[in-house]
């Protein structure tokens, strides 16, 4: 099972003890993946479709706990894909359907239902616990979360902009900033920051999934930290090697043109040590000098040698070859 499937499975076994929270979760499930049917006799029926058995199980359980209604459940095999199953949960009784629609505020006091099945009153989500339940139901009905080993992405798909904005406003009450994007004909609420996804899992009370995500985040951060350090060390080594190669070139140039014996004692000594120890660090070179000197002292002498080499090049007319900067377009 995918990580998203694991989260939904965990949430499907979690049934709030408070009736008002159960109603809020039912409202979200019907709003996000439900349909209302009205017969020619003006009788109502409610139906939800889902490809996730956890969602069908949770919705069926909530109806039974909250309204003592035993809904009909049917399973259909997708003949095209030959592997996906569609679960349909239907409330056919007119009085039961009206009871559910009024309790969930999907129907107003005049008996009207909005085309996009948005909740008509904030009474359903007035309390913090009910907001949690509503977000949980919305995720079960139309949400998904990517495998955190790959990347961080949480989303809930809505049929209308109004519904998406309504859900985003509910999420924002928990100080979580979700964004909305139009994808084909649907409006998708999404969160991409790992810490915010952890927060919304906590809001939905998916604690097992939260712990798994946190463990993966810690491992990824450790790997990233190690990689940054390795890259930094590699860059420093590369910089040191390039500097040592340039220093050796300058010293050999001086040796070929005027000889190292013409240099002052301190410069001559460090020049010979650099040629004999091309891989040595500045600190190691400083320890070889008699008496030993620090890194800054070694660096000063090597810079002086480079200046001498440049002066010789200028005097011999060779500075143009080595000193010229070529821009690569």
Contacts of 10 (CB under 8 A, 6+ apart): 206, 208, 209
Q: Identify any residues that bridge with 310 across adjacent strands, giving them in sequence order.
A: none
pTM of the model: 0.69
Q: What is the C-alpha to C-alpha distance for residues 95 and 23, in angstroms, rounded to an integer?
A: 17
Contact 161, 180 (CB under 8 A): yes
Helix, strand counts (H, E) of the chain: 12, 8
pLDDT of residue 81: 57
**Percent of the chain at pLDDT exceeding 90:** 45
pLDDT of residue 44: 92
- Asked whether the predicted pLDDT for residue 233 surpasses 60, the reply is yes
Q: What is the C-alpha to C-alpha distance for residues 298 and 284, in angstroms, rounded to an integer?
A: 10
Least confident span in 44-58, 116-130, 215-229: 116-130
pLDDT of residue 313: 87
pLDDT of residue 225: 80
pLDDT of residue 322: 42
pLDDT (mean) for 105-113? 80
Encoding tokens for residue 21?
């929270």
Contacts of 87 (CB under 8 A, 6+ apart): 49, 50, 51, 52, 53, 55, 56, 73, 74, 75
pLDDT of residue 7: 94
Q: What is the C-alpha to C-alpha distance for residues 17 and 188, in angstroms, rounded to an integer?
A: 30
- Asked whether the predicted pLDDT for residue 112 surpasses 90, the reply is no
pLDDT (mean) for 163-182? 94
| H or E stretch at 86 | strand 85-91
pLDDT of residue 85: 84
- Asked whether the predicted pLDDT for residue 41 surpasses 70, the reply is yes
pLDDT digits (tens, 9 = 90+) for 146-161: 988 888 999 999 999 9
pLDDT of residue 83: 64
Encoding tokens for residue 140?
């079960």
Q: What is the C-alpha to C-alpha distance for residues 260 and 99, in angstroms, rounded to an integer?
A: 100
- Asked whether the predicted pLDDT for residue 109 surpasses 70, the reply is yes
Residue 105: pLDDT band (50, 70, 90) is: confident
Q: Which of 55, 58, 60 is nearest to 72 (CA)?
A: 60
Q: Which of 23, 244, 236 is nearest to 134 (CA)?
A: 23
pLDDT of residue 116: 63
- Asked whether the predicted pLDDT for residue 31 surpasses 50, the reply is yes
Q: What is the C-alpha to C-alpha distance for residues 191 and 112, in angstroms, rounded to an integer?
A: 33
Contacts of 126 (CB under 8 A, 6+ apart): none
pLDDT digits (tens, 9 = 90+) for 49-58: 998 898 999 9
pLDDT of residue 79: 65
């Amino acid at each position: 099972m995918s990580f998203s499937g694991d989260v939904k499975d965990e949430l499907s076994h979690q049934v709030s003890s408070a009736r008002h929270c159960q109603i809020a979760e039912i409202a979200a499930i019907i709003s996000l993946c439900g349909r209302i049917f009205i017969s020619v006799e003006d009788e109502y029926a409610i139906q939800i479709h889902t490809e996730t058995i956890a969602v069908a199980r949770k919705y069926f359980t909530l109806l039974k706990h909250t309204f003592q209604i035993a809904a009909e459940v049917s399973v259909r095999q997708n003949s095209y894909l030959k592997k996906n199953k569609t679960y349909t949960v239907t409330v056919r009784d007119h009085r039961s359907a009206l009871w559910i629609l009024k309790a969930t505020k999907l129907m107003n006091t005049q008996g009207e239902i909005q085309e996009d099945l948005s909740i008509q009153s904030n009474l359903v989500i007035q309390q913090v616990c009910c907001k949690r339940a509503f977000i949980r139901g919305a995720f079960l009905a139309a949400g998904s979360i990517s495998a955190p080993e790959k990347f961080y992405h949480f989303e809930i798909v809505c049929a209308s902009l109004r519904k998406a904005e309504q859900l985003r406003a509910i999420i924002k009450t928990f100080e979580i900033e979700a964004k909305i994007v139009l994808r084909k004909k649907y409006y998708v609420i999404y969160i991409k920051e790992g810490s915010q996804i952890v927060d919304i899992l906590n809001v939905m009370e998916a604690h097992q999934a939260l712990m798994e995500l946190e463990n993966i985040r810690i491992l990824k951060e450790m790997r990233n930290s190690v990689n940054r350090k390795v890259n930094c060390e590699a860059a420093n080594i590369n910089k040191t090697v390039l500097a040592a190669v340039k220093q050796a070139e300058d010293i050999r140039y001086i040796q070929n043109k005027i000889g190292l014996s013409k240099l002052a004692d301190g410069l001559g000594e460090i020049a010979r040590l650099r040629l004999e120890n091309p891989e040595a660090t500045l600190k190691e070179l400083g320890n070889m000098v008699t008496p030993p000197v620090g890194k800054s002292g070694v660096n000063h002498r090597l810079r002086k040698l480079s200046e001498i080499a440049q002066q010789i090049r200028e005097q011999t007319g060779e500075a143009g070859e080595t000193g010229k900067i070529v821009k690569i377009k």
